[in-house]
A and B are shown apart, each in its own frame.
Chain A
Amino acid sequence: LLRSECWPVDQFVLCDTHESSFNRYGKDIVADLPKILTHGEYSKHASLSPFPPLALKAPVVEVMVAYFPSGITQAGKDAASARFHKFQEKALAKCRDVLGVAVGWGVEDDFPIKGGKEGEKGTALFAAIGWESVDKHMAFRETEAFKENVSLLTDMERMLKITMVHVELRCVEREGV
């Protein structure tokens, strides 16, 4: 559902087989996107928890992406997840302005690393944190709870890079869901 060279780029679907079959629906849906969009940076998947990731419905969503080497082991992933959950417990949970949190690993292991070396790719840990406004998030960053615990995120073992941006999302929900 995203503009990219082969939609949807998905390790579970062989591009050549659905190339012809998605034309009827998927391609029709996205056919007009090139009129307003320049390119697809990427289109991939993540297993976000809790599901559905309702933090995405907040007025402002902080999207944190921590990148790791593609070959990171399950134990390495578990250690990084544990540090995020500790940050969630010690800092985010103490802040009343947090409207929701969803976290999880990218399914693919070749996410382009934003701000990394040319063509550098890796495994990505995503976190979506819902806020009322950017100001509320910035105020949280001034608190002791944040300052004392942020190293749980910034000093993760084997982490290549960590990025954080804010997005304002519109949500379309299927009727009856």
Chain B
Amino acid sequence: LTPQARIDNMTVTELGVMGVKPGLKVMDTSTEEGKLLKSIYDKPTAFPGGPSRAYYGLEMEDPSRLWAFFDFKSVEEHRTFAEK
């Protein structure tokens, strides 16, 4: 395998941290903001070539921080999806 092919075949997890607007209960699906967040993160895994799994939720020590993780079977798959 070429170095590029090795990278393309690597599994990869996209991960990140975002700030939540004060007072919003984004993980409570009985709220408008909770419904919106769920509708957003329900989408990526439904796309062909999208991530296999999305995980998202609040940090318990600081609930103004939202963590998210997305599993991609390969960097190539991730790149293709990102370019769509």
Chain A residues proximal to chain B, CB less than 8 Å: 1-4, 8, 10, 12-13, 17-18, 21-22, 24-26, 29-30, 32-33, 35-48, 51-53, 56-57, 60, 63, 104, 107, 126, 134, 165-174, 177
Contacts and interface: CB of A to CB of B under 8 A. Distances in A.
Contact of B51 (A18, A60, A166, A174): A174
5 A-B pairs closest in CB distance:
A2-B16, A38-B19, A43-B16, A169-B57, A51-B11
A57 B52 CA distance: 13
Specify which of B15, B21, B47, B55 lies most central, judged by the most chain A CB atoms within 10 Å of its CB: B15
A100 B17 CA distance: 22
Given A8-B78, A37-B66, A47-B13, 17 more contacts: A10-B79, A18-B83, A22-B82, A22-B83, A24-B84, A26-B81, A36-B21, A37-B19, A40-B17, A45-B13, A45-B14, A47-B12, A57-B55, A63-B67, A165-B65, A169-B55, A173-B53
Interface residues of B, number: 55
Contacts, number: 169
A25 B55 CA distance: 19
A52 B33 CA distance: 29
A166 B59 contact: yes
Contacts of A42: 16-17
Contacts of A32: 36, 40
A166 B62 CA distance: 9
28 contacts: A1-B68, A10-B79, A10-B82, A17-B83, A18-B83, A22-B82, A24-B84, A32-B36, A36-B21, A37-B26, A38-B21, A41-B65, A43-B14, A43-B16, A45-B14, A46-B13, A47-B12, A52-B71, A60-B60, A107-B12, A134-B60, A166-B59, A170-B27, A170-B57, A172-B53, A173-B45, A174-B46, A174-B52
Contacts of B18: 2-3, 33, 37-41
A173 B38 CA distance: 13
Which among A3, A48, A165, A170 has the greatest number of chain B C-beta atoms within 10 A? A170
Contacts of B46: 174
B52 A44 contact: no
A51 B78 CA distance: 15
A36 B13 contact: no
